[in-house]
Amino acid sequence: MSPGKPKFYLTTPIYYTNGLPHIGHTYTTVVADTIRRFKRMRGYEVVMTTGTDEHGVNVERAAKKAGMSETAFVAKMAEEWRALWDELGLTADEFVRTTDLQHVRTVQWLFRLCRENGYVYKGQYTGQYCIYDNAFVNDAKQGDNCPDCGRPTETITEENFFFKLSAFQKPLLDFYRKNPGFIQPETRRNEIVSFVEGGLKDLSITRTTIRWGIPVPGEEPHVFYVWFDALTAYLSAVGGPEFEKRGMWPADLHLVGKDIIRFHTVYWPAFLMAAMLPVPKQVWVHGWFLMDAEKMSKSKGNVVLPRPIANLLGMDALRYFVLREIPFGQDGNFSYDALVTRYNSDLANGLGNLASRAAALIEKNFGGKIPKAAERKPQDEALAKEVQAAIGEVLENYENLSFARALETIWGVIAAADKYLTSEQPWALGNSEQDQARKATILWTTAELLRVVTVLVHPVMPASTTRIWALLGLPGSVASVELDGLRWGQLAPGKQLGPAQTLFPRVEKTEAIERIEAMANEELNPAPAAQPAKAAPSATPAGAAAAPQTAPDKIGIEDFAKVEMRVGQIKTAERIVGADKLLKLTVDIGTEIRQICAGIAQYYEPEKLIGRKVAVVVNLAPRKLRGVESNGMIIAAAVGPEGRPVLAGFPDEDVEIGARLK
Ligand code: MSP
Residue partners of 209: CB distance under 8 A and separation at least 6: 156, 158
pLDDT mean over 249-254:
98
One DSSP character per residue, 550-604 reads ---S---HHHHTT--EEEEEEEEEEEETTEEEEEEEEEE-SS-EEEEEES-TTTS
Region of poorest pLDDT, from 100-114, 595-609, 633-647: 633-647
- The Å distance, Cα 17 to ligand 1 centre, comes to 11
- The Å distance, Cα 260 to ligand 1 centre, comes to 7
The pLDDT tens digits for 11-33 are: 999 999 988 899 999 999 999 99
Please work out whether the CB of residue 28 comes within 6 Å of at least one atom of ligand 1: yes
Q: Which of 59, 228, 274, 211 is nearest to 136 (CA)?
A: 228
17 close to 71: Cβ distance less than 8 angstroms: no
What confidence tier does 413 reach under pLDDT thresholds 50, 70, 90?
A: very high
Please work out whether the CB of residue 56 comes within 6 Å of at least one atom of ligand 1: no
Please work out whether the CB of residue 519 comes within 6 Å of at least one atom of ligand 1: no
| Rounded Cα–Cα distance for residues 653 and 640 (Å) | 27
| Rounded Cα–Cα distance for residues 104 and 534 (Å) | 48
Please work out whether the CB of residue 600 comes within 6 Å of at least one atom of ligand 1: no
255 close to 48: Cβ distance less than 8 angstroms: no
Region of poorest pLDDT, from 120-124, 508-512, 563-567: 563-567
Q: Is the pLDDT of residue 474 over 90?
A: yes
Mean pLDDT for the chain? 90
* Predicted local confidence at residue 550, as pLDDT: 37
pLDDT mean over 59-75:
92
What confidence tier does 541 reach under pLDDT thresholds 50, 70, 90?
A: very low
Helices (H) and strands (E) in the chain, counts: 22, 25
What confidence tier does 539 reach under pLDDT thresholds 50, 70, 90?
A: very low
- The Å distance, Cα 15 to ligand 1 centre, comes to 6
What confidence tier does 546 reach under pLDDT thresholds 50, 70, 90?
A: very low
What confidence tier does 1 reach under pLDDT thresholds 50, 70, 90?
A: low
* Predicted local confidence at residue 551, as pLDDT: 45
Q: Is the pLDDT of residue 101 over 90?
A: yes
Q: Which of 488, 492, 541 is nearest to 515 (CA)?
A: 541
The neighbour count for residue 532, using CB atoms within 10 Å, is 22
What confidence tier does 545 reach under pLDDT thresholds 50, 70, 90?
A: very low
Q: Which of 530, 469, 527 is nearest to 501 (CA)?
A: 469
Ordered alpha helix ranges (H), 458-527: 462-471, 509-524
Region of poorest pLDDT, from 315-319, 365-369, 416-420, 534-538: 534-538
- Nearest CA owner, ligand 1 atom 30: 24
The pLDDT tens digits for 579-590 are: 788 899 999 998
Please work out whether the CB of residue 296 comes within 6 Å of at least one atom of ligand 1: yes
The neighbour count for residue 146, using CB atoms within 10 Å, is 19
317 close to 53: Cβ distance less than 8 angstroms: no
Q: Is the pLDDT of residue 540 over 80?
A: no
Please work out whether the CB of residue 97 comes within 6 Å of at least one atom of ligand 1: no
- The Å distance, Cα 38 to ligand 1 centre, comes to 23
The pLDDT tens digits for 180-239 are: 999 999 999 999 999 999 999 999 999 887 789 999 999 989 999 889 999 999 999 999
| Rounded Cα–Cα distance for residues 633 and 256 (Å) | 40
Region of poorest pLDDT, from 261-265, 328-332, 481-485: 328-332
What confidence tier does 386 reach under pLDDT thresholds 50, 70, 90?
A: very high
* Predicted local confidence at residue 131, as pLDDT: 77
The neighbour count for residue 517, using CB atoms within 10 Å, is 20
Label each residue of 195-257 as H, E or C. Answer: HHHCCCCCEECEECCCCCCCECCCCCCCEECHHHHHHCHHHHCCCHHHHHHHCCCCCCEEEEE
Question: Order of strands, edge to edge, in the sheet holding 332-333?
Answer: 294-295, 289-291, 332-333
Q: Is the pLDDT of residue 350 over 90?
A: yes
pLDDT mean over 286-296:
85
What confidence tier does 555 reach under pLDDT thresholds 50, 70, 90?
A: low
* Predicted local confidence at residue 605, as pLDDT: 92
Region of poorest pLDDT, from 132-141, 256-265, 372-381: 132-141
- The Å distance, Cα 12 to ligand 1 centre, comes to 9
Pick the most confident of 251-260, 553-562, 593-602: 251-260
- The Å distance, Cα 551 to ligand 1 centre, comes to 33
- Nearest CA owner, ligand 1 atom 22: 24
Q: Which of 10, 18, 28, 149 to mutate to test the pocket of ligand 1 (most atoms within 8 A of CB)?
A: 28
- The Å distance, Cα 135 to ligand 1 centre, comes to 14
pTM of the model: 0.80
Label each residue of 254-280 as H, E or C. Answer: EEEEHHHHHHHHHHHHHHHHHCCCCCC
What confidence tier does 134 reach under pLDDT thresholds 50, 70, 90?
A: low
What confidence tier does 490 reach under pLDDT thresholds 50, 70, 90?
A: very high
- The Å distance, Cα 338 to ligand 1 centre, comes to 23
- The minimum-distance atom of ligand 1 relative to the CA of 295 is 26
- The Å distance, Cα 22 to ligand 1 centre, comes to 10
* Predicted local confidence at residue 297, as pLDDT: 75
- Nearest CA owner, ligand 1 atom 25: 24
- Nearest CA owner, ligand 1 atom 21: 24
* Predicted local confidence at residue 531, as pLDDT: 41
Please work out whether the CB of residue 280 comes within 6 Å of at least one atom of ligand 1: no
The pLDDT tens digits for 434-456 are: 999 999 999 999 999 999 999 99
